[in-house]
Amino acid sequence: MENFVTYNSLIGVVLLGGFLVFLLKEKITQYLKYILAFSGAFMLSIAVLHIIPEVYVNNGFSIGIFVLFGFLIQLILEYFSQGIEHGHIHVHHNKSIFYLAPILISLCFHAFLEGLPLARDFSLEIHQSHGHSHEHGNSFLISILLHKFPIGIALMTLFLKAKLRMGLAFLWLIVFALMAPLGKLVGTFFQDFFNDFNSIFEYILAIVLGMFLHISTTILFESDESHKFNLMKLIIIMTGGLVAYLVV
């Protein structure tokens, strides 16, 4: 039942973002930067409060190289996606699927990597030595869902601006929506058939952590077109961080 909810949530949140663009057109994109600000604050807070302690307490400082590697991977992916992960929607004169292909491939690879750690248990047991454990629940999953929702909005907006047929636009959106569940499915397969695969999850999680850090900090510290950091965005960022603290 838990896996059913997880898979459907990962798919549904992307399709919801795309459907809202289809329904509300340009109105939804007016709020995209605020949705991104909340998700970025939540992701960064979960990374600091949850993922960083977990990967370091279990592996020591050597795991840091994988965090940096994840940061670099995301930097490369955003070269091809053109920053759509943090709300940059650019449409060139070449509006064919060949122009969109690098964006789709990079986003799909990104989503697949994020989905891999969902196959493992995210109970953080830093305090076990003191006789009790600290349960973090689904904070990592919630981070991914909050991140996927604005990407669904941005991706469908890009498709519409590129004059892609509606059926084809939703087809490619579904392909992207399936990538994170596919990552979880592949991770579960390897976890079930390889006893030592659990230790590899720590390194995968560290790579995803680096990707989280790149995306969230880019979202949070980017200024708007007028190079101002407005009060509303600041309030939303603080709210996102507070919600993440309460969830953890």
Question: Looking at the 3D structure of the chain, how many domains does it have?
Answer: 1
- Bridge partners of 124? 134
In a domain, 15, yes or no: yes
Residue 223 pLDDT: 55
The pLDDT of residue 133 is 39
- Residue 92, in any domain of the structure: yes
Are the C-beta atoms of residues 198 and 120 closer than 8 Å to each other?
A: yes
What is the predicted pLDDT for the residue at 145?
A: 94
Cα separations (Å) of 134 from 66, 169, 175, 207?
25, 43, 36, 23
For the chain (length 248 residues), average pLDDT per consecutive 10?
85 94 80 89 93 84 92 92 76 63 92 90 43 56 93 89 87 95 91 74 92 91 61 88 88
Residue 44 covered by a domain: yes
* Locus of tokens 């995210």: 122
- The whole-number pLDDT of residue 95 equals 54
Asked if residue 126 belongs to a domain, the reply is yes
Judge contact between 148 and 13, C-beta under 8 A: yes
Residue 45 within a domain: yes
Residue 196 has a pLDDT of 67
| Nearest residue to 119 (alpha-carbon basis) of 192, 63, 47 | 192
Name the residue range of residue 127's domain: 2-22+34-247
Task: Determine the pLDDT at residue 128.
Answer: 43
Q: Is residue 84 part of a domain?
A: yes
124 φ, ψ to 5°?
Answer: -95, 120
Q: Are residues 211 and 71 in contact, defined by beta-carbon separation less than 8 angstroms? A: yes
* Cβ atoms of 118 and 184 closer than 8 Å: yes
48 occurs within a structural domain:
yes
Length of the chain measured in residues:
248
Tokens coding 140: 């990592």
pLDDT value of position 190: 84
Distance CA 86, CA 115 (A): 19
Please report the pLDDT score of residue 193 as a whole number: 77
Q: What is the pLDDT of residue 93?
A: 53
pLDDT at 136: 52
Place of tokens 């990592």: 140
Can you tell me whether residue 124 is helix, strand or coil? strand
pLDDT of residue 62: 86
Q: Evaluate whether 180 touches 43 at the Cβ level (below 8 Å).
A: no
Asked whether residue 27 is assigned to any structural domain, the reply reads no
